Amino acid sequence: MEKWNELCLPDISDTHIRSILELQYTNYQYNKWMESLLKSFQISNEQFNVLKILQAEYPNAFSLKEIQKRLPNQTKNTTRLVDKLHKKDLVISNVNPNNKRQLQIIISKKGLNVLKEIETPFGAFIAKLKSTLTTEESKQLSHLLSKVYKMED
């Protein structure tokens, strides 16, 4: 495969090691592509993930802890991510009336509009993915990735 030559990696005969390296390379390429896409919207991939989480449950609010649980990378800097989105008016934060130490975060109209603008280029990526993988291949890939993800330490 060309990418192995690009990475200056020799042929790897151990299929398990090769699959891990393929996974890492694919993740890197996807993150690079997302970073490029989101740059014009002045948000990071992590901030995009927070907005998507909030959009999925709109108009319901989430606590920082709830957002953190749903993030793919379970980052510890959820507060910083939400603060940056708040400064850009993409989310609204209110004190929880039942727990004064807890914030309730909801996506703002501006945040919803930004996600709507992102849909077109992101939709083009999904269309390309659909033309690359059949539905059955996509299900198989999803199953295999889930299996690796759920592996015990």
pLDDT in tens, the chain (153 residues): 455 445 545 677 788 888 888 888 888 988 899 999 999 999 999 999 999 999 998 999 998 888 988 888 776 788 899 999 999 999 999 887 887 788 899 999 999 999 999 999 989 989 999 999 999 999 999 999 888 888 865
φ/ψ (deg, to 5) at 12: -110, 120
pTM summary value: 0.80
Q: CA–CA separation, 89 vs 52, rounded Å?
A: 15
Is domain 43-148 given the CATH code 3.40.50.720 in the classification?
Answer: no
Distance CA 96, CA 104 (A): 6
Tell me the C-alpha distance between 58 and 91, whole Å: 11
Chain centre distance of CA 82: 15
Question: What is the C-alpha end-to-end distance of the chain, expressed in Å?
Answer: 31
Q: Are 7 and 25 spatial neighbours (Cβ–Cβ below 8 Å)? A: yes
Q: Give the span between the Cα atoms of 110 and 72, in whole angstroms.
A: 24
Domain ranges of the chain: 1-39, 43-148
